[in-house]
Structure 1
Amino acid sequence: MFLLKFRTLTNGWYGGVVNYQIPEDTTRETEEDLSDISYDGEHLGGLLVGGLGRLVDGEVGGDNFRLDIGYGRGNGWVAWNNESFPNKYVELIFEFDQVRNFSAVHIFTNNFFSKNVQVFSKARVFFSFGGRFYNGRPFSYSYMPDTVLENARNVSINLHQREGRFVKLHLYFAAKWIMVSEVVFDSVPLGENYTLETEANMSEDEIIVNSGDGDTSWDTFETIAAPNEGQGYVEVVIGVLTAIMLLLLIVFVVILVLSRRQKLQGSPTILRNPFGVTINMKDLLMNLAPVNSNGMVHVSSHPTPASQDPPSDPPSLTFEQYRSPLVNSYYGPNYATLRTNTASNSEGMPSIPDETERNEVVDEAAPKTPTSPPVATGSFSSLQFRSLQTTPVVGPRSQVINLSNYFPRVASDPPSRKRYHTAPREKHRLPPPVITWNIAPSMGHTYKCREAELVPIPRYCLRMVEKVGTCHAGEVILCEAEGLEDIVPGAGRMVAVRTTGVNTSDALREVRFLAGLSDSNVVRVLGVCTAEQPPWTIMEYPEMGDLAHYLQYRVPKTASIRPAANLQALSFGCLLYMATQVASGMKYLESKSIVHKDLAARNCLVGRGYVVKLADIAVCSGLYRKDYSEIGGRPPAPIRWLPWESILLDRYTCSSSAWSYAVTLWEILSLAREKPFQHLSNEQVIQNAEHMYYGGELQVLLPKPTLCPIEIYDLMCECWKRDESLRPSFKEIYMFLKHKNMGYRPGD
């Protein structure tokens, strides 16, 4: 449904409106009267013409058009059904008493989408001086559909000072019904009459081009001016510029193709090395060659690229397929370990690398052929090698030679750089795991986290102490560890056990993803207990508990306040010290492109010495159940800590975590005495965020805490910017807070 009501801001309530013309929709599927019953004009062929009615009565309809507000259900709204309009839009024409300069139009619409009523998807505005011809390009405005909030709203369209006496609106359907309650034009009357002059010019110099009948496209009505002298030069310039742009595009495509081919081949640039071969004489130490039937190394009679000297008899040492763990994890199946001739042959017949593997190494290093010692005998299936330098002496205690000393490196590369003839690494990256908790990879970033192996923990090491609670993601239990430090060094006396609802490979990957995180300010995954089903994830739990609960039993340490016997005083430096540790942990997660969807004081755990670590268990606690709210069928979310894009669009990035950190910093400096936006309901918090969704700023900001200096509060406000790119990174936040608290030590 679509509801429309009109008023202007100048020259009385009607603002110079003489009449308006709208279509009359006779389709009625509801009991509400949603037609313009107060219209005082004529009814001609399905149109209301020559009068004024409900659209100018100044009454705004309610959010729910089905409710009776005293004048009958549907009062204040005019509605149209899209089945009655084959062009899929409603046409409204407004006539003013004189020519006016229009700056904006405001349309008050309904969005009761559960009853198939939504704001129009697109609006187009046309202007005319005489009412017959609508000249010039119309203004086009697209509206993003909103299926979260069902409240009616005002949609504003900037008209950029266009002039005319007639204004025509095309409103396109986004659902079955369109409903409008009020249309407001911001306009200023012009004293001169432009109608005759404009129509005369059009008849002489312009041709009107209209869309065909029944055209459902969004093409505009445009005017084509008659050709003027000198227009040929403009066409020539446009043609030349177009040709230049095409030429640049072709050059860009060629460069892109060449660079991609170069990357796939792993070679230097084609211009610097046209043959695709990189040779380093200094580091060239080894060449591989197969053995003939007599156990001799076969050497090609053609000179190698590294030397034009004639070939000579090659030296030999047995070269067997690798079996050593020293190189297994690094070189993979394409490389081998070298052993001296004194190695025993009783280990079995070694396997021969295939032709592809040998060619890769030969292409990488083609050595210069030296004068060699006599050839040693070897097995038919073994490989021989020849060296430019004397073979290093291998002691009896170490028969394995380090291959990294023999495989050549490119001189231009740093010594530690690895060079592979493989496809780009991105093609072999694993997709991120399916995350059910709140510490997850950031949206729009490549997943680059290391998934660690899990340490098995016996069930007898864990004694249940307290069940924290359950949530949509799983369950959290506090346990006392007995003998766990013998298995996991550094494990504390208390641990948190976290479970998931299902035992799947995705749940296992999520635990391995968390186990790969290693930072002093992030809770560590100690291991997993498989004796329970689903398996238990064992995590650190500092003995002081969560930061929100810890702060509520503290008072600020000032000269004017003396703490009670059961309350401990905390200085501003101590509070900032703990806040800096939270920023340090988030800085680490940001470096891994990881977000925390539930960053708050309740998810920061405190240990001895005011050590703070980030966790993700508070969503299960019954103490904080009211801090979460469901939005549009999604899992409960901490909307008072989240930015507008996370609340309305379900988008989480590192910049979103920066917003949540500012709210957490506000909690710390307020000693967690109240939750954010204490005086607002959940619906009002969502409406507050919706102002940013439509391009504005927050109408309600968190106040500056009493202990908070102005520069710290300015940092919070920077984190609450609407544009994500304008919010500071955690590296910047951490460096700023560390500088502000420089010199503080726990216990000061």
Structure 2
Amino acid sequence: DTISSISQLPCVVGVCRYPLGMSGGQIQDEDISASSQWSESTAARYGRLDFEEGDGAWCPERTVEPDSLKEFLQIDLRSLHFITLVGTQGRHAGGIGNEFAQMYKIKYSRDGSRWISWRNRQGEQVIEGNRNAYDIMLKDLEPPIIARFVRFMPVSDHSMNVCMRVELYGCEWLDGLVSYNAPAGEQMSLEGQPVHFNDSVYDGAVIYRWVCIGLGQLTDGMCGLDDFTHSHVYNVWPGYDYVGWTNESFPNGYVEIMFEFDRTRNFTTMKVHCNNMFTRHIKAFRQVVCYFRSEADWEATPLSFSPVVDDVNPSARFITVSLANHMASAMKCHFYFADTWMMFSEITFQLILSSNRMVSSPIPSPGDDPTHKIDDSNTRILIGCLVAIIFILVAIIVIILWRQVWQKMLEKASRRMLDDELTASLSLQSETFAYSHNNPSSSSAPSEQESSSTYERIFPLGPDYQEPSRLIRKLPEFSHSSEEAVTASKAPTATFAQDGVPHYAEADIVNLQGVTGGNTYAVPALTMDLLSGKDVAVEEFPRKLLTFKEKLGEGQFGEVHLCEAEGMQEFMDEDFSFDISDNQPVLVAVKMLRADANKNARNDFLKEIKIMSRLKDPNIIRLLAVCICSDPLCMITEYMENGDLNQFLSRHEPEGQLALISNAPTVSYSNLCYMATQIASGMRYLSSLNFVHRDLATRNCLVGKNYTIKIADFGMSRNLYSGDYYRIQGRAVLPIRWMSWESILLGKFTTASDVWAFGVTLWETLTFCNEQPYSQLTDEQVIENTGEFFRDQKRQVYLPQPVLCPDSVYKIMLNCWRRNTKERPSFQEIHRALLESQT
């Protein structure tokens, strides 16, 4: 019975970043082993990231010596996985432990017998580890690895005790490909300079100009660019993304590549990513002939496929080869030249998983009626299954009803506790406020005991979270009466505090970006009403001119894709220009509404187009065009060539001696300030329109040439940043580490809450995004810390001053995190202060 057709996504590095189960528990204790251990309480099973069981981590029995790789923590994933990221942590144990690995190496195996040492794209094996015992250090594996077994091996330049907790991130390797054998890549002379097309990350052997028993560039998840002399990867040579061959070296006219799989599989298609820059005498293959081996022998009849030769479009592309459901454990394909050169960057397979059901029955005794026996047995089994299903359904119904009753009781209790708690004084330095649930007009003297109650009583996860008007009227910072606050929360009008800044309750906000799961810009209803009568000021763009590059993210109702757009210059306003020639494609982000989206999602999508079409600022991502004449609805926005600021800074180091030693790319402090100033400028523009972003962070700032910054909104939809968002049961996914206390506790979003998020974004920038904000705190502790801001008893925890950050800039951050929203600076003031700090 056919279950499903599955394939490994082509170019999967950006989306294949899921935790594989060390911290989540999917990896069982018996699949975690080690070379040795201090004691039973520091055994391998305690080496799970972010867990404090046992004595706090895995710790090897002996100290780690320089140049010694005797100690390791090993993980068995039970099947092949595509691993793109690793995380490590030391032993904290509630402050008792202080052991961690400053450096480590990784070895991996696909079969448990042949072990391979991981090397980065520059050939280095040592990975930078932890700097303290509690922070989590995430490191991208570039190149990624395909393995079942992974070993973490602590390294040190001096004798020291180490402990480790680890996590692996990636996804299952569905292709089942364990190796490919091919001729070694060759070298081209281009304008007198050598261009190398060797398989530089191949993890097998190189024998007589052949690569054998390994995997490499053709399975590293990175698709080559149209121009083979450029690469997605920094600090590499021209031609790096491709493995290429010239027909002068192959008198038979073809290149043979042999693929070995972990078991016999049913193949439907093969996708080959080819370069087609025919102006350089490079074309995709003219024909491919594939032979299949299911058992010991090769099939006599091969399969042949000839794609259409393209002499018009020089873009690199995937060519899909039909494999006609052949069963095979190995394939041998001859790729015939269509021109002087042939270059591949990625090969992936689509296959069908099948399940063979075997039914057994007892052997009948002489004289028995076998048919009667089988029927009677089947009847008893059927009745037993039905009874079991009925019992399970009844149990589920009882559990659901019990949970609903219990949840209602908890919510009522939480509301009572909240009301009781708010009878205490919530004091600021200059004023005292008291509220009584029984008599709102009366006040009572607060006691020290009342004001030091636990945070859980202040913040129940009850319905008040999304209905903040009842809580807003209780806070001391609002000068208007409680009756005015209630009115503001029900009507689409803004209320003004003494400083004249409008504050909008949740009900006043029009939420846009339901497509990818977040709220890009929260627009005051009044502003939305003023724009509702205006036509969309962008043109319809032909879909056929969009070329898909990769999926950036997805949400409940849509997806965001990175695409190249041809002829985009013809659709743009006169006040907008691209920094490329007219005949070159433009890199764009395409936000696409799914065809099955409901009516509300479609309306929100059209509203978002209307709003985005009005945003015209050098530091805000621009809406370029739309595709709304037919489904799926699309909006096309700018995209910056260097990706988001978080990933950009993670790949760089501050200028200094360490960067010189590691030969890493650097960013100067002045350029960091320049980028932060641009973010402040973009937010100054949004705030002038009373637009509230609600998700300002480095992941939502894109980087262009010369450190140009533009604010975007893709972060929430990307799996890469799923760890930056906290899911409250039954409610939205929230970036709590960037959110102000009033946004978390009261659901109140204003420009002042965006100012708070800017302070965190500035902190990220000056720390090169080496760690999450409040990385030493769990999500629950971060929420508890917002309760300390709420109580304002000087027990709240602030983000520390970064090493590169002067006192004047750190003062800007602290002002952004002031408890009272009216005391926070405006974006205009922040922008001016950052400009002054650079002089």
TM-score range, shorter chain: 0.3 to 0.5
The TM-score, its normalising length taken from structure 1, stands at 0.42
For the pair shown, the structure with the greater C-alpha radius of gyration is 1
Larger strand percent: 2
